[in-house]
Amino acid sequence: MRQGKSLQVLTIVSSPYFVPVCFVVYLGLRFAVVICIPLQQTSDQLWYYNEAVSLAAGRGYSEGQVPTAYWPVGWPGFLGMVFWLFGPSPFVGQVANLLCSAATFLLTLRVGARLFNEELVGRLSVLLLTFCPNQIAYVPILGTEVFYATLLLLAVDLLISGRGWWRWLFAGMVFGIASLTKAQTLLVPAALFAAWRIAPDRGGRPLNQLDQLGRALVVYAAMAVVIMPWTARNYHVFGAIVPISTNGGLTLLTGNNPSAEGDYTPNDALVREVPRGAARQVAADHLATSLALNWIHEHPGAAIALIPRKIWRLWAPDGEAEWQYQAGYKGYAEHWPVFRAVRIVNQVYYVALLLLTLLSAYYFYRGAGIPTPECCTGYVLMLYTTLISIVFSGQSRFHFAMVPWIAMYASWALVQWSWSGSPRLARRSAA
């Protein structure tokens, strides 16, 4: 029975029409949300939009005419270039998000197939990604999430898609832009190279050490070329070394304070001691870092107790895009039961993907169907995201960029579970 159903699914997914049809549905769902739900940008998204408009007009990156580096410049910088080319409007930004989301589809299809040397994994991955409600809902929201998810996939694809220094160079440039979008990306390539060095290949031999070292040097050199001009600008503006942004200290403090519960807690009394405003942002960053580290040092037990809460807040809930519609969609109050029902469906869908990803970890542990050391890539990214959240705070939006990877590993688990005992089917899926 199971093999019969698996054969039916395999026939559909292996069809030459599957990918184009799936892609049309994928884009159609996301474009429909953009058109049918007029969303006003609020909070951080409104700030990004306004800064992009300012950059497009040549007014620089500033708050109240005071130069800033509080938020990383990657996303508003990209959006500013789009506005400079096509004119500033929320719809233009949403179309840019839609195109990034389209790239995410194509990259997920490609990376999923390459990681596991199995075309069927890539095809199932995009099928699962197509119907993720939270992934769909984020397209009209002009935040960093869609853009960053695409950058991460593109950088990894360039690293694993073949040899050649130019691939590593472009990968480093993309990692540099990703770091200017989310500063924690700086150490992602190092984590990947270390994991690939440890993981054995099909012959039980680690990857060549010199090859890995060469790739790492090229990648980080290219990252430096992208990041250093922004660091130099910050030094010129602030008279201090600010590699990317000045919000690291406050981000650390909002996750480590007497009121912390694992999530973002901006209203704690300790957090309110930090002065706000662009003019004093470097000093405020240093003060917030000092306050957070002192609190952790003086309350190690409380800091350790926050770890499981941070992990839970990072990975357990999904569907936080609803908050943006609640704040920015005028018809939310009238249609809130629909939004809430979609969020419940999304949560069930997301948990199912997580459970399949956990099942994939079991297959990975057994060494089932692992063709290359790069198969561990998604696990490394998810672990790295978890460690970052343990240090700072756990917020469900932080795992948005991991969902394409979760879809890949969930798909691999499905392939292992459904077809591991059928070499003929496995050969057909790889064809």
Using an 8 Å Cβ cutoff, are 275 and 70 in contact?
no
Lowest-pLDDT choice from 7-21, 41-55, 279-293, 415-429: 415-429
Domain holding 54, by residue range, is 2-430
CB-based contacts of 425, cutoff 8 Å, min separation 6: 3, 6, 7, 10, 419
User: Would you state the structure tokens that stand for residue 373, as one six-digit string?
Assistant: 């050391």
More confidently predicted of 161 and 69: 69
Task: List 67's β-bridge partners, or say none.
Answer: 62
User: Average pLDDT for residues 346-352, to the nearest whole number?
Assistant: 98
Among candidate residues 292, 298, 307, the one with its CA nearest the CA of residue 249: 292
Give the C-alpha distances (Å, rounded to integers) separating 215 from 51, 169, 176, 223, 412. 35, 9, 15, 12, 27
Please determine, for residue 425, whether its predicted confidence score (pLDDT) is greater than 50: no
pLDDT in tens, 370-415: 767 889 999 999 999 999 999 999 999 999 999 999 999 999 999 9
Radius of gyration of the chain (CA): 22
pLDDT in tens, 110-157: 999 999 989 999 999 999 999 999 999 999 999 999 999 999 999 999
Return the sign of the alpha-carbon dihedral for residues 103, 104, 109, 112. Answer: positive
Specify the number of domains making up the chain: 1
Using an 8 Å Cβ cutoff, are 273 and 291 in contact?
yes
Backbone dihedral angles phi then psi of residue 67, each to the nearest 5 degrees: -55, 140
Query: Which pTM value belongs to this model?
Result: 0.94
pLDDT in tens, 281-326: 999 999 999 999 999 999 999 999 999 999 999 999 999 999 999 9
Please determine, for residue 430, whether its predicted confidence score (pLDDT) is greater than 70: no
User: Average pLDDT for residues 342-356, to the nearest whole number?
Assistant: 98
Task: List 169's β-bridge partners, or say none.
Answer: none
Q: Report the C-alpha dihedral over residues 43, 46, 51, 53, rounded to 10 degrees.
A: -170
